[in-house]
Chain A
Amino acid sequence: MFLQLVVNGVVSGAIYALMAVGFALIYNSTHIFHLAHGAVFTLSAYTLFFAVKTLGLPLGLAILTAICLSILLGLAIEAWGYRPLRERKVSLATFLISSLGIFIVVENGLILLFGAIPKLITGEPLKAYRLGPLIVTQLHLAVIVCCLLIFPSLQFFLTRTRIGKMVRALSDHPELATVLGLQTDRIYLFITILGAALAGVAGIFVALDTGVTSVMGWDAVLVAAVAVIIGGVGYLPGAGIAALMVGLIQNLSVLRVSAQWQGTITFGILILFLIIRPKGIFGKIISSRGA
């Protein structure tokens, strides 16, 4: 049972990590508490549903469509939601309210289009494989494989490519990056594309596993935000590792308490960190960079 809970925790954590790293990418460089990240996640799920069930597209094409539309929404939010505010040099609280407003509009827009009843893409139990005492579904294997491809690629991109280094430069010190002549607007667009794509992938996995609801984005973005704070703001891998930790703790906690406390436990961990170690798990790494 313990091993199965660990596996389940890793899978949950991997999906949280996709959301968290996307959120962190945007938050670290813009300092915008990007609640609309949840809207991108939800839109991806609905697009997949629409593409598969209504348009009858093959799954591969539907997935591509969902990711493309997520990126488009992310870009729209950056271009029309955040950039005008950035040009006017508004406070971070204004960005937060703007982001929340976008989230609510997109969520309710989807309800208007699709209705409030949850939608299913796969209405059948997923195929499961036995690995010794463990049972893993096809989808869960896909999540693990995807994350094992995505995260190292992202790490390589951010450390070894020119644009990746510019993204990190902007995250570390936006003012200095501008002084050095980096085209910050273009880099923000690039960050947006990456972040939205990650949210899109997360939305696709959840949609295939448990279906699509208009309220799914809120839970997802909250866990992402918690993971970013616990991991330590400013250190990207920290968000991913913290998300994995949250997934594991949520699943393993049922050994001791009822499943109803999972949400409470997530926020309990956040509060604990804010009191004991507000810089997050990897806070030392961020301070040692001098950023």
Chain B
Amino acid sequence: MKTIVKFLICFCILVVPCELLARDLKIGFASCLTGPAAFYGAYMKKGVDLAIDEVNAKGGIKGNKFVPLWEDDKLNPTVAVSIIKKFISVDKVPVVVGSMTATALAMVPVADKENTVFITSLSTHPDIAKMSKWSFRNCINTVPSAMAVVDFAYKQQGKRKLGLLYFQNESTRRIAEGVKKRFEDLGGTVVAMEMLPEEGVDYRSPIIKIKNANPDSVYVCALARQAGLAMKQLVESGVQLQFYTDPNESPIWLETAGSAANGAFYGYLDIQKSYLDKYKAKYNEEGEIWGALYYDTMHTLAIAIEKGGYTAEGIRKALIEIKDYPGVTGPITYGPERDVVKPPIIKMVKDGKFVKYQ
């Protein structure tokens, strides 16, 4: 009996504090790992993993290490809702990291109801961060980015007749509407506006209608792979015009379009070379924007957990207080709007490489 009591006391003294000391910092990640945007899911994972490895290698946050829980939402809102509910009720995470607009829009109301932080770096919907006090976003502002490109096309390149191809997706459709309005407000004409179907990869029919309208340039509002396919098929259909597109600086764009992408302009963010070198060293491929954004997001989450503790309310308050964090995609301030603002730059594809427009 005495032995058992001694053993129990020793157990309590030694084991329990260790359990309290080393906590797993579980974070839920709902990403489009398969489906039409699987490449974005892959980029997201690479950026997140790079950041988590760095934080954990330095000993984690006060001795506690990040444990990422990944789930595949297949870019399906119904699946995404099940995933976030599972993260909250089963895994009891204080923060869920989401991906694109389609699924983010479905997950934010759940996060709001369950008082859990939701953060994304792939959703470009203007209202994502406004929907709930628990919703945060650190992303490129694709609509202002597209506006910058449209201004560039009209004012500096003298384009007046725009052909607009847009992918059937929540965010790209909205960008396309913004592009049309801006170009027409400036005084130009959108001579044709055709949708690329979400299913299938044969875009030749809408491309023929664009070609028939005789534009002097074409703006492609689409995800990276779809934009690449569209440009390739545009060139194959005999459309040799100036192309503009969304921030699609990803390897999959060039792999799909090949030389068809040469000379295309797009809005983007400046990514620090140090990040690109680290990415290349770990993954043996060129880094890109979405991984970089998630990399920054994870580092800001680490700061928030350190300052506010591993609780939803603590993380929420601490994220809002982050000011001018030196991210690899630019300075990050969430502010009371919970939405990071990043001014875009114009870049182009030159001989198969992404370069800043000078």
Contacts and interface: CB of A to CB of B under 8 A. Distances in A.
Sorted nearest first, the 8 A-B pairs with minimum C-beta distance are A124-B258, A116-B38, A210-B201, A254-B205, A125-B235, A116-B34, A259-B206, A123-B258
22 contacts: A1-B209, A1-B211, A4-B208, A116-B35, A116-B38, A117-B38, A117-B39, A117-B42, A123-B255, A125-B232, A125-B236, A125-B258, A125-B260, A126-B236, A210-B202, A211-B229, A214-B34, A215-B35, A251-B204, A254-B206, A258-B206, A263-B199
Secondary structure call for the A interface = mixed
B242 interface: no
B255 A262 contact: no
A137 interface: yes
A111 interface: yes
Interface in B25-45: 33-36, 38-39, 41-42
Interface string A90-120: 0000000000000000000001000111101
A250 B256 contact: no
Interface in A240-279: 250-251, 253-254, 258-260, 262-263
A12 interface: yes
Interface residues of B, number: 42
A219 B201 CA distance: 11
Contacts of B212: 1
Interface string B236-263: 1110000000000000101111111000
Contacts of B229: 210-211
Contacts of A263: 197, 199-200
Contacts of B235: 125
A4 B211 CA distance: 11
Contacts of A262: 197, 200, 205
Given A12-B202, A117-B38, A120-B256, A137 B236 contact: yes
A196 to B, nearest CB: 23
B347 interface: no
Interface of B: 33-36, 38-39, 41-42, 168, 194-206, 208-209, 211-212, 225, 229, 232-233, 235-238, 252, 254-260
A250 B199 CA distance: 13
Given A123-B254, A251-B204, A262-B197, 5 more contacts: A1-B212, A8-B204, A258-B195, A259-B195, A260-B198
Interface string A1-44: 10011001000100000000000000000000000000000000
B202 to A, nearest CB: 6
Contacts of B259: 124-125
B198 to A, nearest CB: 7
A65 B203 CA distance: 29
A61 interface: no
- How would you classify the secondary structure of chain B's contact residues: helix, strand, loop or mixed? helix
A111 B211 CA distance: 36
Contacts of B204: 8, 251
A263 B225 CA distance: 20
Contact of B205 (A124, A215, A259): A259
A134 B67 CA distance: 57
Contact of A8 (B39, B205, B232): B205
Interface in A185-208: none
B201 A135 contact: no
A141 interface: no
Nearest to B193: A258
Given A135-B238, A210-B202, A259 B33 contact: no
A60 to B, nearest CB: 22
A258 to B, nearest CB: 5
A123 B256 contact: yes
A239 B227 CA distance: 33
A125 B35 CA distance: 24
B194 A258 contact: yes
A7 to B, nearest CB: 9
Contacts of A213: 201
Interface string A117-160: 11010111110101000010100000000000000000000000
Contacts of A250: 205
A79 to B, nearest CB: 30
Contact of A135 (B36, B39, B237, B257): B237
A217 B41 CA distance: 21
Contacts of A215: 35-36
B208 A254 contact: yes
Contacts of A259: 194-197, 203, 205-206
A261 B34 CA distance: 24
A214 B204 CA distance: 22
Nearest to B33: A116
Contact of A219 (B38, B194, B200): B200
Contacts of B258: 122-125
A216 B33 CA distance: 16
B5 to A, nearest CB: 52
B29 to A, nearest CB: 15
A171 B55 CA distance: 65
Given A1-B208, A1-B209, A118 B197 contact: no
